[in-house]
Amino acid sequence: MNLEKLLSGPLKRVNPRLAGWAYSGLRRIPRVRRRLEAEYDGLVAGMEATVKPYREELTTYRRLPDTGVDRIELLDLLADLAAREEPGWKEGFASGAVYHGQHEHIAFLSRVAALHSQANPLHADLWPSATKFEAEIVAMTASMLGAGGSDDEIVGTVTSGGTEAILLAMKAYRDRALSRGIKHPEIVAAVTAHPAFGKAAHYFGMKLVRIPVDANYRADATAAAAAINRRTAVLVGSAPAFPHGTIDPIQELSALAATRGVGFHTDACLGGFVLPWAERLGYPVPPFDFRLPGVTSMSADTHKYGYAPKGNSVVMYRGRELRRHQYFTSSDWPGGLYYSPTLAGSRPGALSAACWAAMVSIGEQGYLDATTRILETAAVIRSGIAEIPELSVLGDPMFVIAFGSDVVDIYRVMERLSERGWNLNGLHRPPALHLAVTLRHVADGVAQRFVSDLHRAVEEVKVNPGGVGGSAPVYGMAATVPARAVVDELLERYIDLLYEV
């Protein structure tokens, strides 16, 4: 018995919730439960070699060593691990993940971070430089995203990444809605919007109302209009959405939100540091930022195409009143007055210093040059994919290119690419893969290598469509099994695996 076969078939045509109930009932049958456990164990075991490759080779620390390990020895070990893992991203085999990666740039940011390794923005009196860096990061990002074209003051904060930026924006909308007497605030977002919006709804007791996308994988504005009600706190649009790299109709959606009196958030975590420069270069970029009066907040990841080190993003608001709903303050604690603008209290000032240094050292011309090279390379890759008869490009992407197939199992294609060193993102609904093009792909020959390897992978799957183990069974199950509890449990077991020594 196979987990996918057990819960697909007839259940594929019924309500997913009913499939979930069926799954829960089946798990109570001892014989079925044992088989399910065996299936889960097999799938997790298939992923173990990828995430735990050092178990048999390196010392495993389950408790503190009796005496500290020599620092030179540790530095040698860390250098060896970094060298082993470097080719997977440095040679352009990864989708996204590392967005710059040039040696001199990394060395520069590392030096900046070392100089400010002790800084903590929580203690602004000790490290006023940290507040300078963060205020200017926000100001520069807002200026890039239309603040100069708005009559309102655009403000914001630095966050640890795009997820925290989205969480904070949704908390701000929730608290503003509560202050207006809305007891059960809702978020309206397309099915392609980042899972961080679902995470925010889960954490903050909100309801996430998902709307469909159109044939080009853009949020359906008509469905958005139907979904907005008196409980709606915010409508969301993506620029672009992570799965297919397509930009939602932000102008239409934000105007709708303004007309209905609700907030509108543009999630530009992925495109915030590409689209403004693409527009300057003459590419057809639809309006998406604070130049649109209906856009009341935005998120943009400095640690993606802003080329800052990981652990950086920005959330911005139209006006201070909305931003204040993000804050937490405590004035009655015996330990003194406490405030926190973001989810964390203490934060790594080194990352803010390095982010500021990255932005200032690159400048407008540097971002224009990088965007030119990325978009030119993306066009080569997109054209190469389109020339493979068994594949089709989804939507109309610029630099995040999704593709699927009605001829071959796309997840088996992903496995064949993985065997050649590629690390792509698997997508669902419909089954597809995507490649987020970065500066690691603009080097000579990388785009051509990808297209050539992709063509060979497709041919191999046509000849041998089957396979054993790997990621294909997991993605296939996630794409076809209607009982979400099945896949959710597998993901939870995967997370458990990550923390096993």
Q: How far is it, in rounded angstroms, from Cα 442 to Cα 261?
A: 44
Integer angstrom CA distances of residue 336 from 125, 131, 167, 332: 15, 21, 27, 7
The residue among 220, 221, 226, 235 whose CA lies nearest residue 188 is 235
The SS3 of residue 442 is coil
Which segments of the chain have a pLDDT < 70?
Answer: 1-28, 32, 467-483
Q: pLDDT for 127-178, tens place per residue?
A: 999 999 999 999 999 999 999 887 889 999 999 999 999 999 999 999 999 9
Residue 412: predicted pLDDT: 95
Integer angstrom CA distances of residue 471 from 193, 235, 259, 478, 489: 24, 34, 46, 11, 16
Residue 14: predicted pLDDT: 42
Q: How far is it, in rounded angstroms, from Cα 330 to Cα 339?
A: 6
Residue 32: predicted pLDDT: 65
CATH class of the domain defined by 115-359? alpha beta
Domain ranges of the chain: 115-359
Angle between helical axes of 446-463 and 349-386 (0-180°, round to 10): 60
Give the torsion sign (CA, 216, 221, 222, 223).
positive
* pTM for this entry: 0.92
